[in-house]
Amino acid sequence: MELLAESAENTLVAAENRVRQFSTPDKIFNYFASYQFVNKKNGRKSMMMTPLEFYSSVTPDCRRVHGVGPGVHVEVDQQELDDGKVVMERSPISGSVLNEIGKLGLLSYQDFCFLLALISTPKRYIETTFNMFDVTGDGHIEAKEFAYVSTKMAHKSGGFGSYTDTDQEEILASSSGLLNYLFGKNRDQSLTKEKFKKLQTDLLDEIVQLEFREYDTENTGRISEADFVNFLLKNGKLMPKKRAQLIKKVQSRWPAKGRGVSLPSFKSFFMVLAGGQELERALFFLDVEGTGVDKEEFRKISSWVSQTECSDHVVELIYEMLDDDEDGRLYRDDIAQILLDWRHSRGFAKGGIQVSLGQLSI
Ligand SMILES: [Ca+2]
Ligand SMILES: [Ca+2]
């Protein structure tokens, strides 16, 4: 029986991985959102998700919360929300920002697009992102500016967001937990650059911790080297046989009682991967002679991309996996595909702020 349940869950996990990887953001949102908010005043209905459903929608292999699928939802109205009748799964992380937002309401599609953009934009460019929202350039994002830009950003079927007065009224009056969190229920608070940056940091911290706990089920603070390989290669185009080989290789170097990977090391490499093409570009830059980069150079690049110290052990692991010819050097091609797959598997490639400068894009 248990085996059967497990294989059913594996099938579901694989199906959800495909949704995250191949669907457009609106379809991803509809798949994971389990509520339909009914506005009793005008009869309008809109899909909404819980903060943990947001986590699930950007985390491949997620088993904490599963999507309900398109067209499946529970109807709620403002009264029911205010009365606390919506029972949401809560995040186990202490000081959880997802729970803080959840206490104030659900997430709309615009919220989803915004949060996705926030976590998939490299920290180095967060000020640029802030400036995009601060339309008036006075150093504060007001609720109106937020509504305007997030609607423009939201991908809608039939083209990107258009924006009308009705949209603005709807959004500002909506029960969005994120708007309540950022601008207060009366929409009279504004968002400073500091608060904006803090939101990105807090969100990423929590999402990374939640994902780490998917492996570290007993909350020991470490995961095995093999789990780290799984985390890196999730959904990659790598053949299952090749993946199994890599895991075996890593396991034989660091057997069950190996050192393991700590949460800070995991987090710092998550940031490297989330940094878009930064790592690839930096590798290319340092490797103009085409001789590859050694471990120390790789560690330096990774630390600089993630803006945190990348651990020696993680670098050892990466080389164990990817340095096929064992010359102690990695080339751009050794890592480019993994990086790309990793971002695609969580929809980051669709959500990040895109900036381009001539032929260069981030
Ligand atoms: Ca402003
Ligand atoms: Ca090599």
Domain housing 260: 222-361
Same domain membership, residue 274 and residue 189: no
94 belongs to a structural domain: yes
In a shared domain, residues 148 and 56: yes
User: Does 62 fall in a domain?
Assistant: yes
pLDDT digits (tens, 9 = 90+) for 312-362: 999 999 999 989 889 999 988 888 878 778 888 888 877 666 666 666 665
Q: How far is the CA of 343 from the centre of ligand 2 (A)?
A: 23
| Residue range 87-120, pLDDT digits in tens | 889 999 999 999 999 999 999 999 999 999 999 8
Q: How far apart are CA 203 and CA 290, in angstroms?
A: 38
What is the distance between the alpha carbons of residues 269 and 309, in angstroms, rounded to a whole number? 9
Please indicate, yes or no, whether residues 228 and 339 belong to a single structural domain of this protein. yes
Q: The domain that contains 114 carries what CATH number?
A: 1.10.238.10
**Helix (H), strand (E) at residue 83:** none
Q: How many domains does the chain have?
A: 2
Question: Tokens at residue 297, please?
Answer: 């150079």
Residue 177 has a pLDDT of 94
At 211-233, the pLDDT tens digits run 999 999 999 999 999 999 989 88
Residues 192/130, Cβ–Cβ less than 8 Å: no
The ligand whose atoms approach the alpha carbon of 141 most closely is: 1
Which segments of the chain have a pLDDT < 50?
A: 1
Give the domain-ending residue among 203, 237, 254: 203
What local confidence, expressed as pLDDT, does residue 162 receive?
66
Q: Considering every ligand atom, which ligand is closest to the CA of 321?
A: 2
Tell me, in angstroms, the distance from the centre of ligand 2 to residue 36's CA: 52
Judgement on whether residues 191 and 227 belong to the same structural domain of the protein: no
Is residue 211 one of the residues assigned to a domain?
no
Question: Cα dist. 80→40, 49, 54, 151 in Å?
Answer: 11, 15, 21, 26
Let me know whether 186 and 277 are in one domain: no
254 and 177 within one domain: no
- State the ligand closest to the CA atom of 135: 1
Q: Which of the ligands is closest to the CA of residue 293?
A: 2
Which ligand is nearest to the Cα of residue 142, counting in written order?
Answer: 1
C-alpha 324 to ligand 1 mean position (Å): 51
Q: How far is the CA of 294 from the centre of ligand 2 (A)?
A: 9
274 lies in a domain?
A: yes
Residue 181 CB partners (closer than 8 Å, separation 6+): 100, 101, 104
Q: What is the pLDDT of residue 354?
A: 64
Q: Model-level pTM greater than 0.95?
A: no
The helix (H) or strand (E) run that includes residue 262 is strand 261-262
